[in-house]
Amino acid sequence: MNARDKQIATDLSYEIIREVSRAIRPYVGKPESAEKVKIGADGTPTSLIDIIAEEKIINILKNAPVLSYIVSEEIGELKLGKGTKRSIVLTHELRRQDLEEDEIPKFIFLIDPVDGTNNAIKEIPAFGISVAVANVCQGRLSTLNDVELGFISSFANGNFFEAEKGKGCWLNNKEVKPSDIINISDMTLGGFTKSGTSQASKLVDNARRMRVLGSVVLELSYVASGRYDAFLDLRGSRIIDIAASKLILEEAGCIITNKYGQKLNNPLSIYEKTIVVAANNKILHKQMIDILNDNQTDFIGKVGVISRIDQTRPIIFSAKIIDYLLTNGREVCIENRLAHKLTELKENPELNKIIENTKVDYPEIAHLLDDVNFNIDFKQLAEPVFDFDCDMAVILGGDGTLLRAQGKMKPEIPIFGINMGTVGFLTEIEAKHTFEALDEILKGNYYKEKRTRLVVSHENNQFTAMNEVVVMTDKPAKMLHFEIQVDGETIEEVRADGLIISTPSGSTAYAMSAGGPIVDPKVAGFIIIPICPYKLGARPFVVSDNSEITVKQLKKGKTAVFVMDGQISEEAEYEEEIKFKKYDKDAYFIRTSTKYFYEKVKDKLKEGGINPSPRCNNE
């Protein structure tokens, strides 16, 4: 967006704020303002005062000399300008490749005409307007990062915030600064929590004071100007509510993210919502994120190292990691098989050539393999995985390596996975980011993510699984007849090639390929998926993880094989029961990335999409 276009957008925003203020003034505090006229585009009831405000906005942008898109609470998404008005779906419109240059709008306006409508109706002085202006990006969806200008006006007291990307933000023409509070116990917190959220309750209980004014737009801007120290909305704020205030906060030097500390970059759409956590500085923000996610970091003093050993690359890379940990004063234990392979390599006269060949084959990590130190007594550090007693286990490989290792270790040992397999959905990072991540972990900048595990009972034996248990015939292309019970109640009898009993962690693995749903790891449930059932009505079930699932094989003369995480196989005969329950010991993962589950789903499982590097209009 060039300087001329920014001036046009600013002038239109000023006019919108001025005219909306005039239009709603006679209706503030009047009972008729609360009349519910319709259901808005976002699915919430629309009051008369909202309609009056939006009609004024539509009229201004419709008669503007430039084309614009608008996303607004009640009217939804429109294309306006040069005397025209047309309903659109913004996400579809931005993908269009058939528009002529003069048909492409210059701006996207995201407007909440009256934020705090109920306050306005009852004449409580906490309501205002929010206007954000974003670039129009051709060939891809515009996101919050494309917002260039933000304006917020309090109708009750006339306070006016404005911000320009990269230039700063101002309140009533004076540059704003947030507070310097760094302790939770000293902070003034604003926002909305959810009932039954213990972590949020802990945050509120530890704050000095809590404010709930009923206007996300104004309260977020109060963090930028030091009136609040922090704000959160655990219900989920609409993108139109936070588009302008996000820019204002960031230009003031504040931090605004989702619950997991991930920067907000949602697509611009009437339907988009996100949980919001905002604070005056990084120190206070991190404390809030840690409490909300129940993060507890411990000093990492001893580290176990496990690696796939069927490839040279991870073995060499493990030597680099071991040397790094020892150099940084940490104790190290090495899986016996890995220690043996490292010793073999160390004694190989072709070692330098092997390392150079690996660097050529894997250029993305070539610089990390410079000066690999094999002058270490690997055998002296060797231990059986079962005996690992460490603060963290570093696992190099794919999901198979990780599952195999966690099944052998003590469950309380948290896992840090480095992807050296194919997909590596459960791993934390790609190899090229290893040492930046380890630097942060050793500083204590990490959190532990808890994952549910299954315990499987058959006859007098028990087994555990973190992803899934697959029950199938021991002969290919043969079907079995299953009875499935949940808490003693038969929910299905089905003939099928097999069954999958999956945790949420396993929902992106075999369960997904067999037609099961993708389930967020935070969901307290298990998934039951028939594999190729001979029954039209047989569908996956999602059941509580407090339930006991019982599977019985009803086909005489047939043997069922059940496999835990693709690692351990056992057999069950006719009418023998296999029981599944939640294991009382969860698995733990070390996380450093703010990229959470849904981002990983998109990254790891995508098969195409919009052109990743299109141009932005007006840039």
Instruction: Give the catalytic positions in this structure.
Output: 399
Specify the residue for token string 């072709």. 350
CA pair distance 351, 169, nearest whole angstrom: 58
3-state SS of 29-46 is CCHHHHCEEEECCCCCEE
Q: How far is CA 103 from CA 269, 595, 610, in A?
A: 20, 37, 21
Q: Which helix (H) or strand (E) holds 465?
A: strand 461-465
User: What residues form DSSP beta bridges with 414?
Assistant: none
Q: Are 587 and 466 in contact (CB under 8 A)?
A: yes
The total of other beta-carbon atoms located within 10 Å of residue 82's CB is: 12
Alpha-carbon distance of 542 to 526, in angstroms, equals 6
Q: Tell me the CB-side half-sphere exposure of residue 242, using CA atoms within 13 A.
A: 33
Q: Is 87 exposed, middle or buried (0-12, 13-18, 19+ CB in 10 A)?
A: exposed
CA–CA gap between residue 58 and residue 75 (Å, rounded): 9
Residue 206, both tokens: 């530890």
Rounded Cα distance between 456 and 583, Å, is 9
In DSSP notation, 74-117 reads TTEEEEEETTEEEE--HHHHTT-S---GGGS-SEEEEEEEEETH
Q: How many CB atoms lie within 10 A of CB 224?
A: 29
Residue 282 has which token pair? 């990084």
User: Is the separation of the CB atoms in 601 and 518 below 8 Å?
Assistant: yes
What is the DSSP code string of 119-152? HHHTT-S--EEEEEEEE-BTTS--BGGGEEEEEE
The residues facing 189 across adjacent strands are 210, 230
Q: Contacts from 74-77 at CB under 8 Å and sequence distance 24+?
A: 74/38, 74/40, 74/41, 74/42, 74/46, 74/50, 74/113, 75/40, 75/41, 76/40, 76/41, 76/42, 76/270, 77/41, 77/269, 77/270
The pair of structure tokens assigned to 366 is 């070539």
Q: What are the C-alpha distances in Å from 547 to residues 454, 511, 523, 524? A: 11, 19, 14, 10
Compute the distance between CA of residue 182 and CA of residue 67 in angstroms, rounded to an integer.
45
Main-chain dihedrals φ then ψ at residue 305, nearest 5 degrees: -125, 125
